[in-house]
Amino acid sequence: MKARTGRNWSLALGAGVTACFIAAAALAVFWTPFDPQLLNIVDKLQPPNQHHWLGTDQLGRDVLSLLMAGAKTSVGVALLAVIIGAAAGVPLGLIAAANQGSVDELVMRGNDLIFAFPALLLAILITAVFGPGAVNAVIAIGIFNIPVFARVSRAGALQAWTRDYTLAARVAGKGRWRISWEHILPNLFGLLVVQATIQFSLGVIAEAGLAYVGLGAQPPVPSWGRMLNEAQTLTALAPLLALMPGLAMLSFVLGLNLLGEGLRRGTGRAP
C-alpha cells in the first residue's frame, strides 16, 4: 500500500519554484531591470552590487536581466515543444488505441523510428537545413516529444478501453472516435499533465543544450545555454557568470520535476 499520509510537499515546493520562474519569464516580456541586449563595456564584469543585483558580464550586460530574458526563451521553447508533442502525439496515441491491429502497429513503429534516431543528430540536421534559431529548436524538441505523448496516451487509453463504460457507450451507438473524445481523453488528463511537466523540464534542458552548442537561440536573443557557453572562458576570472545560469537551470528543472512527482502522487497514477 502506498503511503498517502502527510502533505504533498513536492507538489507545494515544485509548484512554488515553477511559478517563480514562469512569473520571471512573463515579467521579462514587458520589463527587465536593464535592457538585456544593452552593452556597457565600462561596467563589465562587476560583482553583485546594489545597482546590478547579480553583477554584469564581460560585455557589461546586467546578469539578472539576462537570466530573466533567458527564462523567457527557455519557457517559450519548452512550452511550444510540449504543445507540438501533445497536439500530434495524443491524437496518434488515441488512434492507435482505438484501432487495434495494423493502424496501431503503423503508429507505434513510426514512434520507434523517431525514438531510434539520436535527438541531437536530428536537431543538427534541422538546424543545418533551416538554419539555427529558437523556432527550429522548438521544432526539433517538439518532434521528439511526439512519440512520448503517443506512447503515454496509448497506454492510458488501452487501459481505459477495458472499462465497461466504453462498452456502455458503444451500446449507446457511439463510434470509436466519439468515445475516444468524450470518454477516453478526459480520463487521460491527469496522466498527460504529469507527462507534460516532465517533457517541459526536458525541453528546458534541451533548449539550453542546443543553445550551448550554438544551434538554439542566436545572439542577441538571450539564452541560459549561451550564457554558460560565453562564461566558459571566464570561469577563473568570474565564476559567478557560469554559476548563475547553471543554478537557474538546475532549480527550474528540479522544481518542474518536483511538480511532476507531486502531481503524479496527487492524481494517484504512475506515468
Report the interface residues with another protein, using CB under 8 A.
1, 5, 163-165, 167-174, 182-183, 186-187
* Smallest separation (angstroms) from another protein to the CB of 261: 22
Cell of 78: 519548452
Q: What minimum distance in Å lies between the beta carbon of 171 and another protein? A: 5
Distance of closest approach, residue 165 Cβ to another protein, in angstroms: 5
- Which residues are paired to 56 by β-bridges? 62
Residue carrying the nine cell digits 492507435:
96
Question: Per DSSP, what are the bridge partners of residue 62?
Answer: 56
- Helix (H) or strand (E) holding 247, with range, is helix 239-267
Query: Cis ω on the peptide bond leading into residue 220 (within 30° of 0)?
Result: yes
Q: Which one, 51 or 178, has the nearer CB to another protein?
A: 178
| Closer by beta carbon to another protein, 21 or else 161 | 161
* Minimum CB distance to another protein smaller for 116 or for 171: 171
Between residues 160 and 253, which has the closer beta carbon with respect to another protein? 160
Nearest residue (CB) to another protein, 50 versus 162: 162
Residue count (the chain): 271
Asked whether the beta carbons of 169 and 179 are under 8 A apart, the reply is: yes
Closest approach, Cβ 193 to another protein, in A, equals: 14
Decide: 190 and 175 in contact? Cβ < 8 Å. no
Nearer to another protein, 121 or 164 (CB): 164
CB distance 71 to 200 below 8 Å: no
Instruction: Kindly state the smallest distance separating residue 184's Cβ from another protein, in Å.
Output: 9
Nearest in space to 194 (alpha carbons), one of 125, 107, 261: 261
DSSP labels, 193-244:
HHHHHHHHHHHHHHHHHHHHTTSSSPTTS--HHHHHHHHGGGTTT-HHHHHH
- Shortest approach of another protein to residue 172 CB, angstroms? 4
